[in-house]
Amino acid sequence: MHDHDNPKNSGISRRQMLIAGGAMAAGAALSHFGGLVKHSLAKDGSTEKWPWPYEKLDPAATAAIAYEEWYRVYCGAAVINSVFSQLREKVGEPYLSFPVDSFVFLEGGMTGWGMTCGSNAGAAIVANCIIGPRTAGAHEGHLITTELFEWYSDAMLPIYKPETPKVTVDIVQTNSASPLCHLSVGRWMEKSGYPITSAERKDRCARVAASVAYHLVELLNQWHDGTYQSAGTHSPVKEFGITAQMNCMDCHGGDVPEPPL
Amino acid sequence: MHDHDNPKNSGISRRQMLIAGGAMAAGAALSHFGGLVKHSLAKDGSTEKWPWPYEKLDPAATAAIAYEEWYRVYCGAAVINSVFSQLREKVGEPYLSFPVDSFVFLEGGMTGWGMTCGSNAGAAIVANCIIGPRTAGAHEGHLITTELFEWYSDAMLPIYKPETPKVTVDIVQTNSASPLCHLSVGRWMEKSGYPITSAERKDRCARVAASVAYHLVELLNQWHDGTYQSAGTHSPVKEFGITAQMNCMDCHGGDVPEPPL
């Protein structure tokens, strides 16, 4: 690793950077944060040319697809396919060549381990496939990813309400204070009283996937329009001296270790 | 979500299942664990035909590539490219069409948030792209993923020692008891005394990526030979009633909440 500091403080978008001084300016700015970057060019895969062609999508329509797709491939692949299935139709390649369904394993925070919520991981994959990696000179994929994690942690989820819900009881909203599945699902289970195997919990997660897909497309549309400005504030390596969330005491209690500096 | 129970207790590999009764037998067995699976067929993407062609790789050579690639694209993309760069040469498509470098964002547990160690996430992507998702009737991708998370949690890492190390001091080994970046890096920093920004910590993570790539290829080679038997034992939903790791008290202390059942 290197500095995982959030370069949002530069306050300028990639498009603005390109206007300001060409692609090399973006690369130079990024090298400030990723001191180990040796190459600014991607490998030579046929889909490793960024950004991928993107057409603006309707957030509500995208959310509706994610909700339905959850019941086929679960959170991570549902979010990926909510965007890529539309771009397969509107654009074609390279979306046709992306193996969306391979990402079923993102379910339950990766095969049930409760780590990164699959909706967050799926959204990160979408943003970074379309926009490209920071090592290739684009930083909005990184910024949209970390902003989404923070948005997810702060939001009362799920926001999305399906027109034709598969579960008709009210689904309570909860705040996870974390992008992790275990905390997101656990805090919802605690407040709602529904177990993990319930239809209500499943529908809650389908609605979370839809909520994330909705906001992801809002951010991608801004990026496409050249108006994206990161709202992220979390710079763990700079603030805490370790890769981390923002709420150390949630797990550590009062006994937060001091990292070597 | 659905049951995230580990189907390893079936004790038979996918190849054995195919021998025993055709692809539908595997699909039927999986439906026992994923009760919501409505379709057994993947979407119609050009790369969504599993398994992808695979040729056995040399674990040591793969680890050496991962170590070097860490310094270009960091943990997650390094593990992916350690396998896919070789298969691009040996096989060609669909590996040429996979956007490896988009997965730079896996660094630092996803843009520095300390969640799933990128080496683990990268290994999961490799296994599930090659073998396919359980929703398409193959379960070894899921099993290799969860087994790798458990192996990583139990191992003293890093195991891999580069022939030409970029850092020549001894790199101590630590046990993370978790597949999470924050715990893996944090416990190593605590024992070694090196900060996150040090060359030693970076080389430690490069060696961890190489160690994971090594074991991933061992498992993929077993799968290719039809001899793979999952060594995973973690079934969080069944054991704990929530998506989770296995060591609740590590974060909760003595106050582990009871999930609704």
Question: Mind giving me the DSSP string for A21-42?
Answer: H-HHHHHHHHHTT-TT----S-
Please give the residue of chain B at the shortest CA–CA distance from A193.
B260
CA distance B80 to chain A (A): 12
Q: What is the pLDDT of residue A10?
A: 35
Q: What is the dihedral of CA A87, A92, A93, A99, to 10 degrees?
A: 60
Q: How far apart are CA B146 and CA B131, in angstroms?
A: 14
Strands A174-175, A156-157: pairing kind? antiparallel
Among B42, B94, B102, select the one facing A132 at the smallest CB separation: B102
Residue A20 has pLDDT above 50, yes or no: no
Distances (CA, A) of B50 to A140, B160, B171, B182: 32, 31, 39, 33
If you average pLDDT over residues A209-226, what whole number do you get? Answer: 98
The 3-class SS string of A127-176 reads HHHHHCCHHHCCCHHHHHHHHHHHHHHHCEECCCCCCCCCCCCCCCCEEC
**pLDDT tens digits, A36-45:** 333 333 456 7
Q: CB–CB of A250/A177 below 8 Å?
A: yes
Q: What is the pLDDT of residue B258?
A: 93
C-alpha neighbours within 13 Å on the C-beta side of residue A221:
13
Residue B72 has pLDDT above 70, yes or no: yes
Q: What is the pLDDT of residue B6?
A: 38
If you average pLDDT over residues B237-249, what whole number do you get? Answer: 95
Site of tokens 């009210």: A170
Q: How far apart are CA B115 and CA B83, in angstroms?
A: 23
Q: What percent of chain B has pLDDT over 70?
A: 83
Q: In the predicted model, what is the mean pLDDT of chain A?
A: 86
Cβ pair B99:A196 closer than 8 A: no
A149 — pLDDT class (breaks 50, 70, 90): very high
Q: How far apart are CA B31 and CA B136, in angstroms?
A: 11
Q: What is the pLDDT of residue B43?
A: 58
Task: Give burial (CB, 10 Å; 0-12/13-18/19+) of B132.
Answer: buried
Q: What is the pLDDT of residue A124?
A: 98
Cβ pair B242:A75 closer than 8 A: no
Please give the residue of chain B at the shortest CA–CA distance from A243.
B114
Cβ pair B259:A149 closer than 8 A: no
**pLDDT tens digits, B119-173:** 999 999 999 999 999 999 999 999 999 999 999 999 999 999 999 999 999 999 9
If you average pLDDT over residues B170-193, what whole number do you get? Answer: 98
Q: CB–CB of B155/B212 below 8 Å?
A: no
Q: What is the pLDDT of residue A153?
A: 98
B-chain residues near A110 (CB < 8 A) = 116, 120-121, 124, 145, 149, 179
Interface test with A, best of B31, B33, B43 (most A CBs within 10 A): B43
pLDDT higher at B65 or B255: B65
Q: How far apart are CA A239 and CA A248, in angstroms?
A: 11
Interface test with B, best of A196, A200, A246 (most B CBs within 10 A): A196
Q: CB–CB of A218/A59 below 8 Å?
A: yes
Residue A26 has pLDDT above 50, yes or no: no
Q: How far apart are CA A229 and CA A214, in angstroms?
A: 17
Q: CB–CB of A95/A81 below 8 Å?
A: no
B-chain residues near A197 (CB < 8 A) = 2-3, 237
Q: What is the pLDDT of residue A101?
A: 96
Interface test with B, best of A74, A96, A243 (most B CBs within 10 A): A243
Cβ pair A111:B145 closer than 8 A: yes
Cβ atoms < 10 Å from Cβ of A49: 13
Cβ pair A112:B237 closer than 8 A: yes
Among B39, B120, B196, select the one facing A242 at the smallest CB separation: B196
Q: What percent of chain B has pLDDT over 90?
A: 80
Element of type H or E holding B124: helix B118-131
Q: What percent of chain A has pLDDT over 70?
A: 83
Distances (CA, A) of A68 to A78, A82, A98, A165, B194: 8, 9, 20, 10, 47
Site of tokens 């005394």: B193
Q: How far apart are CA A201 and CA A43, in angstroms?
A: 41
Cβ pair B101:A74 closer than 8 A: no
Residue A25 has pLDDT above 50, yes or no: no
Cβ pair A71:B1 closer than 8 A: no
Please give the residue of chain B at the shortest CA–CA distance from A120.
B110
Note the helical H segments in B178-226.
181-192, 199-225
Cβ pair B237:A108 closer than 8 A: yes
B254 — pLDDT class (breaks 50, 70, 90): confident
Please give the residue of chain A at the shortest CA–CA distance from B243.
A114
